[in-house]
Structure 1
């Protein structure tokens, strides 16, 4: 089960916003926390702009009556133009071709993305930028903003100087380039666009589970796939109904989980729907285990698994999610 602490989300919103307004990144199911419910809550506390990756993510929010502005990161194709009938949708212009496609629809609100070093999406040269601006003005687009995505915090200062060349060519109502990695290191623009920090400064998500079985195994007995774990003594173990099918990766084999003030080791192969834990007799069937929480932060899991926190959050998949 996934438990979402909305009070921590509120704290994070206040902490990252500072003197700037917030564009809340809710892509990839709000980093595994549930895009619709997170967006509803953010909207209720005054966040006015959300950021998603693609058409499907935007449509999910629109169909659930989200009224906040929604910036779509990926370029819209002709088959996506129906989304522009929603007054709160903001398209991203990543090229002159994008502008030409969107010009088939009237009164399009857009942000222009600049590629300052990521090499992914956005306009790279001043000459192309001028051509895009001329086209947008000629076709009466509502040019609502400009943004970039820095390739790393280490290169952000250099990339910011490049971004300024574009952003200061004319007056844009919304300018956003600061992210989770740079909102507290740089000062530029009137909005910050933040994802990970919204969910991780004070950890919002906890993964919890209760045993479905407690049993003894004998010395020399092996468990789970490939028999990679063999008991060195008679042991007490429990099985939890969670596994890599929920995003709890096999990278966490050999790690530990938390319950009642103690850490307990994961043993054997992690299955699609189950994990094995070596326990003591203080654990009962109603004991609550925390696979990640404020007691066992995602950062610790990422360090153990040698992966990023982004990977862990975005892989969460739970049918039962509690928001409180």
Structure 2
């Protein structure tokens, strides 16, 4: 079944909710039964669509959701989703009351922030918080045990807070060399030992750590990239203990075809020249959609054949060199499977010399998302 989406341009991303459900279900089965899973749905669920993704993974058995900012959490609450939500990034102390009213957990790591936030949490409400420990990532988090102890005391003494969790984030869990990972894990365990009591949620493991390092599971894991059918890194691609299926694919259609004579030019700068008589197709996608100019030369799939992008990619349009004339309306797959060919998200990332996370996040909201499912959610 395909969720009906109305749009007026022949470019769209397909989100396979069955694949998403299968991926998270397999991860759920791999982890110990008492492990709480917080599914990372920040950045519009890595470009997949936050509400549909959230509903699917909750149906598949995850405990809660993790986002980057309070705005993202509020969007989820506005959709009627009542599951636990943790904001992983920094939030202004002045906005703590908003989070408390909507039962959204915030990340804390500064003593002064806690003192300021306490003043704005309304009577009758309490703000749920998770303490972030910086064990070597170098972003946000408590770095000194004395600060951790003081935050512990402030949270336990105030009726404006509910201390829900404590966590850290690994910098190298997706690498085969485990030295730095072990250093961070040891530091986090030291922080835990500094506390007289522990909160309900203790979490350190992201996708890579949860699937490849059982020693950092504690009682909660944050799963992101793996549930979308993608691997945290090429290094551990063959180590993941479940069969992944990519959730995201990207498609368009040919809107124009013309035959160029040898010597004729294509695109801005006129820097592509037909070396012989060539069929050139135009597709309605460009860098404003996240299909950026560095993808020139990348091969996409048209009518089951691999065809190269030629000329400079435009803001809204891209040109392809066809092996033969193809009719207007021919479907072109930029990411995903068509007949016997498959362009993975990793293939695009390799062409752009970046990581798969960036690819799905980069495809802008101007590209409509079409959700495919078989009634599982």
Instruction: Say whether the 8 Å CA contact 1:95–1:123 is kept in structure 2.
Output: yes
> Given the alignment, which residue of 116, 127, 130 partners 2:146?
127
**Cα deviations by residue, 1:48-87 (Å, 9 ceiling, x for unpaired):** 3111111211121122222111101223224313423445
Matched, 1:215 2:240: no
Separation in 1, partners of 2:112, 2:227: 33
Alignment gaps of 5+ in structure 1: none
The answer to whether the 8 Å contact 1:77/1:101 transfers is no
Partner of 1:193: 222
Residues of 2 paired with 1:15 and 1:183: CA distance?
13
Question: Following the alignment from structure 1 to structure 2, what is the Cα–Cα distance between the partners of residues 213 and 276?
Answer: 9
Identify if the C-alpha distance between structure 1 residues 89 and 131 changes in structure 2 by more than 3 Å, giving closer, same or farther: same
Give the conservation status (yes or no) of the 8 Å contact 1:47–1:68: no
Q: Which residue of 2 aligns with 1:299?
A: 346
Which residue in 2 is equivalent to 1:231? 274
Structure 1: how far apart are the matches of 2:370 and 2:101?
30
Taking structure 1 as the reference length, what is the TM-score of the superposition? 0.95
Query: Structure 1 stretch 211-220 or stretch 194-203: which is displaced more?
Result: 194-203
Describe the superposition over 1:18-50 as per-residue Cα deviations: whole angstroms up to 9, x where unpaired: 223311111111111111221122233332311
Q: Is the 8 A contact 2:70 2:99 kept in 1?
A: no
Query: Post-superposition shift, 1:259?
Result: 3.0
Per-residue CA deviations over 1:170-221 (Å, capped at 9, x if unaligned) read 3221111111222222122112102111212421110000011111111111
Deviations 1:207-243 (A, max 9, x none): 0000111111111111111112111110011111001
Asked whether 1:66 is paired with 2:81, we answer yes
Pairing 1:159–2:184 present: yes
Q: 1:46 to 1:251 in 2, by over 3 A?
A: same
TM-align CA RMSD: 1.7
Distance 1:158 1:149 in 2: 12
Seen in structure 2, the aligned counterparts of structure 1 residues 108 and 173 have a Cα distance that, compared at 3 Å, is same
| 3 and 210 in structure 1: CA distance in 2 versus 1, 3 angstrom threshold | same
Residue matched to 1:6: 17
State yes or no: 1:103 paired with 2:118.
yes
Any unmatched runs of 5+ in structure 2? 1-11, 231-243, 373-377
Q: Measure, in 2, the Cα distance between the counterparts of 1:173 and 1:278.
A: 58
Deviation at 1:88, TM superposition (A): 3.3
Question: Structure 2-normalised TM-score?
Answer: 0.82
Task: Select the residue among 62, 81, 88 that pairs with 1:47.
Answer: 62
Question: Is 1:172 equivalent to 2:199 in the alignment?
Answer: yes
Structure 1 position 282, deviation (Å): 6.2
Match 2:51 to one of 36, 41, 55: 36
Q: State the match for 1:22 in structure 2.
A: 37
